[in-house]
Every structure is written in C-alpha cells, then in structure tokens.
Amino acid sequence: MVMNSFRSVATAVFLTVLIAGVQAQNERIYYDESRLPAADERLAVFSHDPALNRQFLHEDEAARLDLILQSGLVKYRLESQGFQQKTLHSDELPDGISAGRTGGLVYPVMIYTDNAGAVRDAGIEVNTVMPGFVTARVHEHQLEDLIRLDGVTSAITGEMQQPLMDQSLFETRAHLLHAGYLNETRYEGSGAIMVVFDTGVDWQHPNFRVPGDTARSRILYLWDVTLEAVPGESTPGGGLDYGVEYSRAQIEAAFGNPGLVRSRDTNGHGTHVLGTAAASGPYKGLAPDADIIVIRGGVSSFSLANIINGMSYASKKGQELGKPVVVNLSIGGRVGPRDGTRSDEVAIDELSKNPGYVVVTSAGNDGGRNLHKSGSIVNIQPTAMTIQVPVYTPRAGTSNDLFRLDIWTNSSLPVTAKLTSPASVTFEAVNGTNTSFENVDEGTVYMFNNVSGNGNRNIQVIVYDAEEGREPAVGNWVLELSTTSPVVVFNAWLASFSVGSSLVQLLDANTDYTVTMPATSNSAITVGAYTVNRNFVNSAGTSLSFTAAVNGDIASFSSKGPTRDGRQKPEISAPGYVIKAALSSDENAGTSSSVLFGDRHIVKSGTSMASPHVAGAVALLMGANPNLTAEEAKLLLVSTADRDTFTSQTVTSTWGAGKMNILSAMRQMLNLHTDTVTELLTYHSTLASPSAEAKMLDGNKRYAVGFTPGLTGDVTGFQLHTYSSVSETGNIYFEVYTDNAGSP
C-alpha cells in the first residue's frame, strides 16, 4: 500500500493496523476541554441585590421569578421611579441577555404555562411552544405583565449551559464506510444534515467547503442569535424573530468579502466540534459529505430558551429541505432535576418523536469530581452535609466567588433546610420559600425550597459575593435537612464550587450520577469519552504525550450515570481525548501548544469531542435511512457497541453499552447477512519518552513492528503518527509479512 507522505523523517512508532474479516451471520454555560476551568465559573446572577429585591418585590413575585428576572424587574421599577442605573455595553451583558431596540434589556425566558395564547396576547414575543411551557423573549418592562398573567406559574432564565470536546475514524470503523467496504457503497453522510448548536463556526475554514470547489460552502444556514440584524440581514422568522440568519449563498458571497457575514467563533469550541462531526479533511470528520447547519447560541454559554429555539429551528429546516437532521449538543449544566424533566430535555423528547430527527449530547466532564451525595432524611434525626471552603484569595468583582448546592428529593413531602456558617450563623428555608440573607462577614446566602413542576422538591443553597469584600467565609458550612414525614430520599450535587483559584469540596461525596443536563433526556443519545491516542506533534514540531491517560480506557473526566430516576446514561462512548479537529481563525489560540502543524487544526479533549463522533455516525445512518427515529438510532448503536477488557462485558454507568462501532451499526440497519468483524491492532511505545524510540526512515532503512491478529481477513488500512513534523515529500510504503521466527 502506497501513501503520499515523506522521504526522510524521524518517527516514533505509533502504528495502527485495522484488519477486517467477513463471517456468515446466523439468521447521548464556559469553555471546557477536559474540565471546567475554575477561573471561568460564575454565578448566573445579574446585578442581584438582596436588599433591593426585598424592597421592590412582593414575596409572591419573588417566588415566581428566578434571580435574574427578579433583578430585571427591580431594575425596571427603579428606573421607572427616576433612579439612574449603570448603562452596560452589549459586550458587558451576560450571554443570552441583549439590549432592546428601544432601550432596556431583553431576557430569554422559559415561561411555565399551558396558555401560550395569553402570553402572546400580552404582547410578549413567543418563540417555541412545548407541553407545559413556552420560550419567549421578554423585555424588562413586560415582566410586570408577565407575573400577573393567569396560568403562568413561574418564569426563569435557567442556569446558563456551558460547552464541554485522525485516529478516530479507524477506532469507530467509519473509514471503512467512507471507502465503500460495506455493501460496495460509500457512506459519508450525503442526504443528511448535521446541525451543531454551539459557539459558532469559522465559516471560512477549508474543512467546511466542498472538496475540489473552494468557492462553495457546505453550510446551508448559519443562525447567530447573538447578533442584531442590520440592513441587508434578516432573522429566521417563523416566531424566531431575533438574531441573524445567513444562507449558503450569503456565505459564499462573503468568501471574497468577509464583512458580508459578521458571525465569528471567537471561542473555537463550535468549530472544533463541527470539524469532528463533519469536516471534509484534513482530519476528516465522521460525516464528511453531510450538509451543515450551525446555530451560534452564545459566545461561551447558552440560555435554555436559545437551546430550545435552536432545536426547533433545526427541525423546521429539516422539514423545509426534506432531509433528516441530527443535532449535536456538546453542552451541559449542573443545576436541575437530572431526570429528563427539565425544559430543554422535554423539548428534545417532543421533537424526537418525528422520524428523521435525532439529538446527541455529551455526558459531561464531571467524572473525576466528587460532586454527588445521596441519602435519606428521617423524621427522627436531621441529615447533615458539610461544604468545605478552603483558604483562598478572592477574585476582583462580584458574583464570581461562590458555591452552590442543588438538592432534589423523590417526592413533594415537606423538608426544612438549615444552613450553619463557619461562624455559627444559621439560615433556614422552610417549605415554599425563596429568600436571600445578607451576612456582612461571611457572604450573601440565597436559599430556595419549593416543589418543582415534576412533583419533586428542589432545595438550592448559594453562598456568593454579592459585594466585593463580602466573599464566602473559609471553613465548614453545614446544611441540615429535616422532615416531619417518615422518610424522604434525596440526591445532592455541588453545582458550583469555585472560590478564587481554589475549589470548594462537598465532603464524603462521590462521582456517581454526574451526567449533566440535557444529557439526562429520555430521547437523546448521551455519549461518554475514552482515549484512543495520547500523543501528538504540535505546530512547533514538539512531540507531546499525556502519560496519565491510558489508550483504550475511559477518560478520567467522563461523567457517570445513572440519571436521578435510575435510567442508563450514558448510552455509548466514543473517542474524546486528544482529538484533532478544525481551529477557528477567530479563536485566540496564540502560541498554544495544542495547535497543530499548518495552524488550521487544534487538539481538544472532553465529552464535547466524543459527542460529535456519535452525531456524525448518526448522520451516516440517516444518509442511508432518512426516516430513522431517535429510538432506532440509539438501539443500533447500543446493540452493536464493542466491548473489551476496559469496558467489561456488560452495560455500565461509566461506559454505557461500550465503544461505538458505526460499521456494525450500519450493517445491522441495512440487514445485511454478513457480519464484518474488525480488529484494531495498535503499537504504542512503552518507553518513558516517545523520542527514545524515534527512528529515521529513508530509502535504505525499514522499521518492523510485530502484531498478532485474533482473526483472519483483509488488512484494510494503516495509520502512522510521526514524531516530528513532516517537511519533505515522497512515498512511504507499508508492507505486510507473515512471521518468520520473529522476523518478517
């Protein structure tokens, strides 16, 4: 086999061979690579002042609005009385909140009601209607009317959701489908639409242009919800009357005049995710021939309303174009019931009822963190949890040194929560309360204790710095839960845990039940991450190796199931560590050691990178079967997953069903009567440093590596990782010999 490569180059031997045999068949918001950077974690509170809220809000009003909307209503009432508030520029506003055309602020809101018509009649812009709630964009002056509408039980902005992300094609067997190995047909995603809801896309990147015709884009539509339309631009319409939508024609026109398309991916997460799912190469994605739709849902985090609207937009586009759609959500949040009943998860279930619509989500990156604790509360003795705040240096500003505990019970039975500070100050939240306490010396305490729409009680405790100089106190904070009922079962999560550059600890916690949302959705395919390659050469020619990772094993950060209501999550696992994919030209990567040769690709890690592997695989299936349902896609992937010594031979809360094998899934879907069994044989140096085994290859030297295959069949490909960057041209030859007493 001849591969165009190089004539003479130093190479460490990381060689991958894949063998396939044919046998008769008996009739699943902040930028996150491997983990959430503590320095970027912030409380989703906008100008929240407890004293002002108590003065300008009635108790029943506060109970129906979350902290952000409480602050918005107070801001409006103050300004209506002539008080001047600080004017914020658009780049100072939290993601999702925007400046209104005539002044004031517009909030993306989840309104819980069964009467969407009444909300519309009040002049509020309704975007998407779902069972039990609607998404809407609410101007601050409309909050007054909203809280008085009959049938509206509550309104929230919700926790902001954060983004979570060569050998992968071999590992998932996708390269065999691309090459036509199965059924003598090339399966590359043609006929399907890959939709990525994320931080945007570098729409000029070569990976998203038509191969052989760089004047043509594969991106059908790009909807940027962060922009406001200017003359010559338009919104998507159809109830989604905000943001800016660009068509393929507009994108292609902008190749020669970039100012025609204003959308940018300054974060880079979305570009990398899309590259993993659908790049046309180099570093080809799983579905290189699929059409593309991108929704830029935020700069670095996303509101629940925008997530739901984005999924609805994708569904409408698929119906208009008559093509199946797979939506990738490499995002996650920790605050919520984790039982599939959160609003975005309900939307996933509703939209996934339609054939040709599948949502794939990342499991989350909390598998290496002890964030979860569960137990029972009995009426004889309170149950206590201890949150330990270490010594730290507070950050400048407010609402950025904090911890947050999110507790869910299995019923609506009454529970009282009492928090005791390190200085023995106590705060109590009885049933049906939503209260802030000012604690001059130890931080501001916010406590919430109400029955949620799913019938389960939710208790939240937030301790944060509402003012500079009043940060959460160092020491042990103790939360006691008590009940008058015989027994109440609970699950608790430390949902925020960042003070200064240090991390708050929930004592005696574990890593179970750490799958984030919307990955606990019933219908979504939830994806964990494992390691297939821990080595790469960056653009400086430096060979880097992540020695703590184990090739073939689960990534340490991959979140674990099950869901709070006991369902299996994740369903499947895919490559998610040291993934090479597209680099956005607008990402401030600078001289990052993760940038690859050519400066157009970058290495990232996370379940965010595993999810688009599976989304791309689903696009391959949908290209062959446009009417594939979400349940059918999930069953195909789960029932054909590979299992080995790492995964065990059973379904687990860490791996799900095992490692994705898209070749086997496609074969099963097409009901072919041959079973393609594959084996991936990989040689990795056992020496301490890759450079210790570097070999110079030229026309007079060969290097041999021995493998012992476990089956008989065809050698279908080779992959070689070079130790240094390649600067010369020529051919490299791979030859296969039988074993001759240890020699070729």
pLDDT (tens digit per residue) in 558-569: 999 999 999 999
Residue 159 has pLDDT above 80, yes or no: no
Residue 570 has pLDDT above 90, yes or no: yes
Please indicate, yes or no, whether residues 136 and 170 belong to a single structural domain of this protein.
no
Residue 21 three-state SS: strand
Among 217-221, 537-541, 598-602, which is the least confidently predicted range?
Answer: 537-541
The confidence score (pLDDT) of residue 694 equals 57
Angle between helices 343-351 and 304-321 in degrees, nearest 10: 10
Please indicate, yes or no, whether residues 472 and 592 belong to a single structural domain of this protein.
no
Give me Rg for the CA atoms of the chain: 27
Residue 36, domain member (yes or no): no
Mean pLDDT over residues 550-564, rounded?
95
Length in residues, the chain = 744
Dihedral pair phi/psi, residue 682, rounded to 5°: -125, 130
CB 537 within 8 A of CB 543: yes
CATH at residue 271: 3.40.50.200
The confidence score (pLDDT) of residue 103 equals 73
Residue among 682, 41, 656 at smallest CA distance from 402:
41
437 CA to centre of own chain: 34
Please indicate, yes or no, whether residues 245 and 299 belong to a single structural domain of this protein.
yes
Give the tens place of pLDDT for each residue, 71-86.
Answer: 788 878 877 776 655 5
The confidence score (pLDDT) of residue 2 equals 30
Q: Which two tokens stand for residue 618?
A: 């689903």
Please indicate, yes or no, whether residues 443 and 341 belong to a single structural domain of this protein.
no
Please indicate, yes or no, whether residues 567 and 688 belong to a single structural domain of this protein.
no
Could you tell me what percent of the chain has a pLDDT over 90?
A: 58
Please indicate, yes or no, whether residues 144 and 262 belong to a single structural domain of this protein.
no
Residue 687, domain member (yes or no): yes
Domain count, the chain: 4
Mean residue pLDDT across the chain: 84
Give the tens place of pLDDT for each residue, 428-471.
Answer: 999 888 888 877 789 999 999 999 999 999 999 999 998 888 99
Residue 37, domain member (yes or no): no
Residue 210 has pLDDT above 60, yes or no: yes
C-alpha to C-alpha distance for 497 and 42, rounded to whole angstroms: 10
Q: Residue 306: how many CA atoms within 13 Å on its side-chain side?
A: 33
Mean pLDDT over residues 413-425, rounded?
96
Please indicate, yes or no, whether residues 188 and 332 belong to a single structural domain of this protein.
yes
The confidence score (pLDDT) of residue 591 equals 62
Q: Residue 246: how many CA atoms within 13 Å on its side-chain side?
A: 31
Residue-range definition of the domain harbouring residue 603: 163-367+516-669
Please indicate, yes or no, whether residues 418 and 459 belong to a single structural domain of this protein.
yes
Residue 338 has pLDDT above 90, yes or no: yes
Cis peptide before 163 (omega within 30 of 0): no
The confidence score (pLDDT) of residue 20 equals 42
Give the tens place of pLDDT for each residue, 478-527.
Answer: 999 999 999 999 999 999 999 999 999 999 999 999 999 999 999 999 99
Residue 187, domain member (yes or no): yes
If pLDDT is split at 50, 70 and 90, which confidence band does 601 have? confident
The confidence score (pLDDT) of residue 184 equals 81
Residue 606, domain member (yes or no): yes
**CA dist 643 → 20, 117, 237, 361, 684 (Å):** 17, 51, 47, 21, 21
Mean pLDDT over residues 614-642, rounded?
98
C-alpha to C-alpha distance for 305 and 303, rounded to whole angstroms: 5
Please indicate, yes or no, whether residues 387 and 500 belong to a single structural domain of this protein.
yes
CATH at residue 422: 2.60.120.1290
Give the tens place of pLDDT for each residue, 140-154.
Answer: 889 888 988 888 988
The confidence score (pLDDT) of residue 144 equals 84
User: Which of 652, 669, 686 is where one domain is finished?
Assistant: 669
- First-to-last alpha carbon distance for the chain, in angstroms, is 17
Residue 721 has pLDDT above 90, yes or no: no
CATH at residue 61: 3.30.70
User: Which of 157, 174, 202 is where one domain is finished?
Assistant: 157
If pLDDT is split at 50, 70 and 90, which confidence band does 180 have? confident
If pLDDT is split at 50, 70 and 90, which confidence band does 730 have? low
pTM: 0.83
The confidence score (pLDDT) of residue 41 equals 38
Could you tell me what percent of the chain has a pLDDT over 70?
A: 80
Residue 80, domain member (yes or no): yes
Please indicate, yes or no, whether residues 379 and 412 belong to a single structural domain of this protein.
yes
Residue among 562, 559, 227 at smallest CA distance from 365:
559
Residue 327 has pLDDT above 80, yes or no: yes
The confidence score (pLDDT) of residue 695 equals 62
Q: Exposure string (b/e) for 90-120, b if CB count within 10 Å is 16 or more?
A: eeeebbbbbeeeeeebbbbbbbbbeebeebe
Please indicate, yes or no, whether residues 283 and 405 belong to a single structural domain of this protein.
no
The confidence score (pLDDT) of residue 698 equals 61
Please indicate, yes or no, whether residues 677 and 663 belong to a single structural domain of this protein.
no
User: Which of 157, 189, 204 is where one domain is finished?
Assistant: 157
Residue 739, domain member (yes or no): no
Residue 43, domain member (yes or no): no
